[in-house]
Structure 1
Amino acid sequence: MTHSTIWWLIAGGAIVLELVSGTIYLLLLGAGFAAAAIAAHAGASLQVQLVVAAVVGASSVLAWYLARRRSPADPPTAANRNVNLDIGEQVMIDAWNADGTASVRYRGAQWTAVARAGVATATGAHRVAEVVGNRLVVDHV
């Protein structure tokens, strides 16, 4: 069996493991193994193939790590619009109760709304900032 065939099998195995585990890092290492297979096709020695696999795999993992580190963190699930489509929607609050809650009609049901911590209660239009259990945490618009 040639070196290029072995590298292609290792790359395929890394990609299969990536599909099972759901991480991107094995896919990036698989790219390094594929680069080593291409180097083997080009006639490079085993030492060069190993260096190519290590450099391409490690540099792609490092680049991905640095890119993810620079991007802002996702908001918590309760306040993430990608998880909960209620975030950002508007509700009308006519009156606040003495305990700091309000009853609002939203999506055809009665909800309990509470003002976000540090925000004064006022009547009128409010935007849903977070959903905690069956309560809408709102900000005044």
Structure 2
Amino acid sequence: MADWSYWLAGAGLTVILELFSGTFYLLMIAIGLAAGAGAAAIGFGEAVQLLVAAVVGVIATVALRRSRYGRQQQRVQAERDPNVNLDIGQTVHVPAWQNGAARVMYRGALWDVELAPGGTATPGQYTIREVRGSRLIVAA
């Protein structure tokens, strides 16, 4: 078999491994291996093929790391994330407070309600900011 076919087989195997890992980094290495196949098809020697594969793989990996897909996303705690808990952002009516806590009827059940830091405990409408177990943390 020709050198370029070994490079392409390695790239194909790397793409298959990428499907199992779920990251794009192995895909960038596969691009480098494909570039090594291109260098082999042109007729460069083994040292140049390895150099081309390594340089292209590193450049592709660095480019991915600097893109928006490679950056770490801001992690939001699940109890504060409206994409996880649909109660966040809903409103509840608090008829009376007792030492910064209350009990309200919400979705057909009684819930413990706690006032978020910095809020004033007055009766009225409040927005749910987070859910901790069976306790709603609310703010005005």
TM interval, shorter chain, is 0.7 to 0.9
Deviations 1:43-70 (A, max 9, x none): 4443333223222222222233334576
1:23/1:101 CA distance change after superposition, 3 Å: same
Q: Does 1:80 align with 2:117?
A: no
Closer, same or farther: CA 41–123 of 1 in aligned 2, 3 Å: farther
Question: What SS does structure 2 have at the residue aligned with 1:96?
Answer: coil
In 2, the alpha carbon distance for the partners of 1:109 and 1:48 equals 70
3-state SS, counterpart of residue 125 of structure 2: strand
- For residue 33 of structure 2, what is the aligned residue in structure 1? 33
Query: Which position in structure 2 is the counterpart of 1:5?
Result: 5
User: Shift in Å at residue 32 of structure 1?
Assistant: 2.0
TM-score, normalised to structure 2, is: 0.78
Letter in 2 for 1:90: T
Q: Is the 8 A contact 1:36 1:52 kept in 2?
A: yes
**Which residue in the other structure is 1:119 paired with?**
119
Consecutive unaligned residues of structure 2, counting only runs of 5 or more, are none
CA shift, 1:14, in A, is 1.8
- Residue 102 of structure 1 aligns to a residue whose secondary structure is strand
Take 1:110 and 1:52, find their aligned partners in 2: how far apart are those partners?
66
Deviations 1:51-95 (A, max 9, x none): 232222222222333345766512122212222222222222222
Say which one has the larger Rg. Answer: 2
Match of 2:62 in 1: 62
C-alpha distance after superposition, 1:13-59 (max 9, x if no partner): 22222222333322222222223223333444433332232222222
Assess if the C-alpha contact under 8 Å between 1:74 and 1:80 holds in 2: no
User: Distance in 2 between the 1:53 and 1:129 partners?
Assistant: 51
Secondary structure at the counterpart of residue 130 of structure 1? strand
Q: In the alignment, is the contact (CA less than 8 A) between 1:92 and 1:126 conserved in 2?
A: yes
User: Structure 2 vs 1, CA of residues 75 and 11 (structure 1 numbering), >3 Å: closer, same or farther?
Assistant: same
Distance 1:105 1:55 in 2: 63
TM-score by length of 1: 0.77
